[in-house]
């Protein structure tokens, strides 16, 4: 099962990014090299990028994090690539960055989805604002353990056409694999009071549309 799922997900594997842990680097041609890689790999998305306001991210000043994050957002927008965003306690700044990138690149309304908010754990009240800025949301294995009321509320509030699933493999605390997506799908389907087959079909279609992959309809 895991091998078959991994083969299906191959088109979504390729991501290019400057990791936030190393964003103290100077702008010494790094973005030029990143752009060149994106040109070489037209199937690639940008990410995972983002902002970390936790103690773990405190070793990099927030203004430097934001500078690199915004630059990568604009690069993704200019090159019309989807972007995967990691955020901890900085959702307001992320939303601000998305809005500015949309405005700079003359994005009309409604904004086509282009930003994946990975492992969304932000305010439920901001979901509508993020959707209007072009965001989709993914939820992972934490839902299968002891999800918080906030997480459950977010899963219920996200529009079905903006809902994705993830395992966060291999960066989760426990060892994970693509087959674990089935457990996430089961949990989300229960929260949304819908069948797993219906949810999987919706998530697959959203994934294909978001990542711009031309493929025959298939089920995760």
Detail the residues annotated as belonging to a binding site for a divalent metal cation: 48, 86, 118, 168
149-157 and 181-192 are packed helices; what angle lies between their axes, rounded to 10 degrees?
A: 80
Strands, E assignment, the chain: 15-16, 45-52, 83-88, 115-117, 135-139, 163-165
What are the phi and psi torsion angles at 51 (to 5°)?
A: -130, 135
Q: What is the DSSP letter of 14?
A: -
Rg (CA), the chain: 17
Chain centroid offset of residue 156 CA: 18
Contacts 24+ apart (CB under 8 A), 22-25: 23/60, 23/64, 23/65, 23/67, 23/68, 23/69, 24/60, 24/64
Binding residues: 48, 86, 118, 168
Name every residue whose Cβ is closer than 8 Å to that of residue 209 and which is 6 or more positions away in sequence. Answer: 113
Cα atoms in the 13 Å half-sphere on the side-chain side of 51: 24
Residue 131's contacts (CB-CB under 8 Å, 6 or more residues apart) are 159, 162
């Amino acid at each position: 099962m895991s091998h078959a799922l991994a083969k299906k997900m191959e088109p979504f594997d390729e991501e290019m990014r400057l990791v936030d842990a190393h964003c103290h680097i100077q702008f010494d041609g790094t973005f030029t090299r990143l752009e060149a890689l994106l040109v070489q790999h037209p199937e690639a998305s940008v990410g995972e990028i983002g902002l970390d306001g936790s103690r773990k991210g405190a070793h990099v000043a927030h203004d430097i994090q934001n500078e690199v994050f915004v630059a990568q957002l604009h690069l993704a927008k200019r090159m019309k690539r989807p972007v995967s965003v990691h955020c901890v306690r900085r959702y307001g700044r992320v939303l601000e960055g998305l809005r500015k990138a949309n405005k700079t690149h003359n994005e009309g309304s409604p904004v086509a989805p282009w930003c994946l908010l990975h492992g969304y754990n932000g305010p439920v009240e901001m979901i509508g604002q993020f959707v209007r800025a072009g965001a989709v949301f993914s939820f992972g294995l934490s839902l299968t353990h002891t999800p918080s009321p906030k997480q459950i509320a977010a899963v219920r509030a996200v529009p079905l056409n903006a809902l994705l699933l993830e395992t966060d493999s291999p960066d989760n605390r426990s060892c994970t694999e693509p087959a674990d997506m089935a457990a996430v799908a089961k949990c989300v389907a229960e929260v949304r009071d819908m069948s797993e087959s219906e949810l999987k079909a919706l998530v697959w279609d959203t994934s294909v549309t978001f990542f711009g992959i031309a493929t025959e309809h298939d089920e995760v």
